[in-house]
Structure 1
Amino acid sequence: MKRIILIVAVTAIAWTGFAFFAKQTGSEVHAHEEHEHEEVDFDHIPLTAKQVSTVDLKMGEAVEREMDATIEAKGSLVLRAQAMGDVASLMGGIVKSIFVKEGQLVHKGQIVATVENTDVVSLQREYYSAAKECELAKADLERQLQLSKQGAGVKRTLQQTKKDYQVAHANLLGIGRQLSQMGISTSAVSKGKFTTAFPLHAPISGIVSEMTASLGSYADMQTPLMKIRNTQAVECDLNVFEKDLSKIKVGNRVTINLTNQPGVKLSGTVYGMNQYFNDNSKAVAVHVKLDAASVKSYLHSSSGNTHGGKLFAGMYVSGKIATGSQQCLALPSQAIVNADGKQYVFALNGAPNKGNYSFSRHEVTTGASNGKYTEVKLCNHLLKGKNGAAGKKIVTENAYYLASLTGEHSEHAH
């Protein structure tokens, strides 16, 4: 009886082990098939020897080069306080005129609206009166100085005259600064030219946004009539996790990609970071100042491009922070083409057969780039084998021709 039980137990264990092995083997095969499927995007792109010669395709292998090590991070574009301005009235009143529209570019100091308030006349009257008092005080002071030179003046009277002039002049300056802040000409007021309306000026150069003013509406000192945003001063905050913070230094170069605009690249430099973690995460915001030339080139690009040349605070980005040098596999940058936000290379499928070539397209992950060469992480079967067998040849020049044969609009990586 015991022997029968033992046989049954051993048999059960054997079948369980076989089933587990079969399951694991099947999973590995399936995973391997999936991996192979992910590696090759277009398996066969035929070309004749004449086409290869005409297009002048050049081929080579990825080689080890010293490139900048990078940290990848995600974040968003931001506008600092210095790049944002509010147009508000220094005195309550009725909006008399508006000279700009939302989305319009304005320059610092430009008049964007006027506000009317009859109370401003009282302030102008005070300035006019103060100007006349200052003139009289100045005339008295000059007369006393003349008498003093002739020895006929009284010292106490001269001192009192100087004091009266200084007080009158200080009062004139105080009221004048109030009028100047409101954009009212003090020289015109001193000549008796009063106005009931005063202009509002743009505090910075930028784009008009969030306009709340309308003709005839009441403007108070607490509510801005419109906002102005200087999009050319846009910066970037990248969220770097705790483990990488020690690698970040001021001056590190950064490459920025706009998440929703594939192919758009901006460049910048790290100039600081927060000294606290972001809410609900172990990441710290690293501040990146974008290169002015990079931003200007993008914003002023031709109207026929695909990205439209628009930058807004809040746009999501991904960035690569260069933190030093490292040895890595690299290809000439023109060997890599972009399509739908992904990077690809083209490989030669073995030796030509009777003058006919076959190429395949492979998706790759790119890293640091110095413009001429770009770091790549190639599929395993494109690299050299463990037994010393050579890997597949990669098209290093004029890859755009093969990209055009895939039926997609592609461009070189930069």
Structure 2
Amino acid sequence: MTKYTILTILLTIIISCGNKKTNTIKEEIPDETSVELTDAQLKNSEIATGKIEQRNISSLLKVNGKIEVPPQNMVSVSVPMGGYLKSTKLLAGMHINKGEIIATLEDQQYIQLQQDYLTAKAHFSSIEKEYFRQKDLNQSKASSDKVFEAAQTEYISQKVLLKSLEEKLKLININPNNLNETNISRSINIPSPIDGFVSSVNQNIGKYVTPTDVLFELVNPEDIHLHLTVFEKDLFKLSIGQKIFAYNNTHPSKKYICEIILIGKDVSPERTVQVQCHFEKYDKSLIPGMYMNAEIEVSTNNAYVIPNEGIVRFEGKQYVFIQTSKNKFEIQAVTTQNTELGFTQITFEDSTEMRNKIYVLKGAYTLLMKMKNQEEEE
């Protein structure tokens, strides 16, 4: 065997080995867009397949806002006559009933006011008797007009004084009709003006409070409103009485039905308008100040939809799975639009071809996890 023959054989062997190695590497490249299940895996996966369908689905306007309470349901509690805060049991979040005593104050001026009233009342009794006596005498010409007019002036002045003192007592929740010389008190009680909850407690025991100080903030949340911010360009889509569906980020699947009751007439510098909505049903879990999202149905159109369980989100995109054979599924990116009653509208680049394929309608997440595990194993 010549030297050239040996070299030729060696080159042939090397090239042959190189081709085999290349083929082996090529076969190991995974198909990252598909996943294949065994018969047993498919049976246990509860995957459901079928064609996508056409349905009437609503076009939604998505906005956000927060829960607010109308002014008549928010109360700042203060006292018309200053005093020392003697007692209160209130804590933020506590429920209170209308008329319930929420604080007690004491001060010597409360005593003085009661004293002034009872003194004026006693004085008025004698002045009243003298007035009617002079009136009778004047009518019978037994006394002069001047004497009667003096008695009348004093009577009216004392009556005005007594009435003003009565109203002052009512301001500090003392009933003048029940007040006498035996029950003068140095303290007054502050009743709750509404049914509701304590929003804040601003004063402490022993502190002197003036009429300008706010002791407590109370709120009645049963008439809460949803205050939405809508862009000017979307206003034409809204109308009074229109239904909306509100939800928060904590429980997005729980929808609260609301109705638009007011649409603002002023456009802000940000080109937005405020829209007021009323909740159809009060829910205690809804708290003033809570941020909410809202969906407003503005139109309805016929579109291709797929059950929500047939869509997965991965790396910021939406995907569905197409069944290419009995056990093999291929992932396909889609564009999702409106969602309603468990179905989501989807669109493709080539809708004519894609709508005739068989899709995974349930269990898409299972396939996504299998595909990711498959990539890690490889």
TM-score category of the 2 structures, normalised to the smaller one: 0.5 to 0.7
Match of 2:214 in 1: 224
Asked whether the 8 Å contact 2:73–2:220 carries over to 1, the reply is: yes
Residue matched to 1:61: 52
Which residue pairs with 2:113 in the alignment? 123
For residue 288 of structure 1, what is the aligned residue in structure 2?
A: 277
Q: Does 1:376 align with 2:366?
A: no
CA distance in 1, matches of 2:297, 2:79: 46
Counterpart in 2 of 1:107? 97
Q: Please tell me whether Structure 1 or Structure 2 has the larger radius of gyration of its CA atoms.
A: 2
Residue 365 (structure 1) shift: 4.9
- 1:136 and 1:328 map into 2 onto residues whose CA distance is 89
Partner of 1:322: 297
Whole-Å Cα distance in 2 between the matches of residues 135 and 257 of structure 1? 66
Asked if 1:194 corresponds to 2:184, the answer is yes
TM-score scaled to structure 1, two decimals? 0.63
Cα deviation code 1:335-382 (max 9, x no counterpart): 68999xx9x9986735645xxx9798999856464xxx456222528x
Query: Which residue pairs with 1:386 in the alignment?
Result: 352
Where does structure 2 lack aligned partners over 5 or more consecutive residues?
1-31, 370-378
Task: Report deviation, 1:91.
Answer: 1.3
In 2, distance between residues paired with 1:389 and 1:367? 18
The letter for the 2-side match of 1:386 is: T
TM-score by length of 2: 0.68
* Partner residue in 2 for 1:70: 60
Residue 287 of structure 2 aligns with which residue? 311
- Classify 1:374/1:262 alpha carbon distance in 2 versus 1 (closer, same or farther; 3 Å): closer
Any conservation in 2 of the 1:385–1:391 contact (CA below 8 Å)? no
Consecutive unaligned residues of structure 1, counting only runs of 5 or more, are 1-36, 300-308, 408-414
CA 1:117–1:378 in 2, change beyond 3 Å: closer, same or farther?
A: same
AA matched with 2:276? H
1:282-309 CA deviation, whole Å, 9 max, x = no partner?
1112122222x2x32xx2xxxxxxxxx3
CA offsets, 1:70-92, max 9 Å, x none? 32212222233223211212111
Q: Which residue of 2 aligns with 1:234?
A: 224
Pairs within 5 Å for 1:256-267: 256-267=246-257
3-state SS of 2:352 partner: coil
Paired letter, 1:71: L
Q: Give CA-to-partner distance per residue, 1:260-319, whole Å, 9 cap, x none.
A: 54334322111113322335x11112122222x2x32xx2xxxxxxxxx35241x33221
Contact 1:254 1:322 in 2 (8 A): yes
Tell me how far apart the structure 1 counterparts of residues 84 and 292 of structure 2 sit (CA, whole Å). Answer: 43
| Residues 1:349 and 2:323 aligned together | yes
Letter in 2 for 1:278: S
Query: Is structure 2 residue 69 aligned with structure 1 residue 79?
Result: yes
Conserved 8 A contact 2:310-2:360 = no
SS at match of 2:167: helix
Give the Cα–Cα distance (whole angstroms) in 2 for the partners of residues 60 and 162 of structure 1: 98
Range with greater deviation from structure 2 (107-116 or 158-167): 158-167
What SS class does the counterpart of residue 236 from structure 2 fall into?
helix
* CA distance, structure 1, for counterparts of residue 51 and residue 150 of structure 2: 94
Tell me whether 1:177 sits opposite 2:153 in the alignment.
no
1:244-264: CA deviations, max 9, x gaps?
Answer: 112221111111121354334
Identity %: 17
The size of the alignment, in residue pairs, is: 333
- Alignment-mate amino acid for residue 349 of structure 1: Q
Pair 144,311 (structure 1): closer, same or farther in 2 beyond 3 Å:
same
Q: How many angstroms apart in 1 are the aligned matches of 2:48 and 2:338?
A: 24
- Quote the offset at 1:199 in angstroms: 1.6
3-state DSSP of counterpart to 1:210: strand
**Equivalent position SS for 1:386:** helix
Cα deviation, residue 219, structure 1:
0.6
RMSD, aligned CA: 4.7
Asked whether the equivalents of residues 124 and 155 of structure 2 are also in contact (C-alpha less than 8 Å), the reply is: yes
Preserved CA contact (<8 Å) 2:305 2:345: no
For 1:128 and 1:138, locate their aligned partners in 2 and report how far apart those are by CA, in whole Å: 15
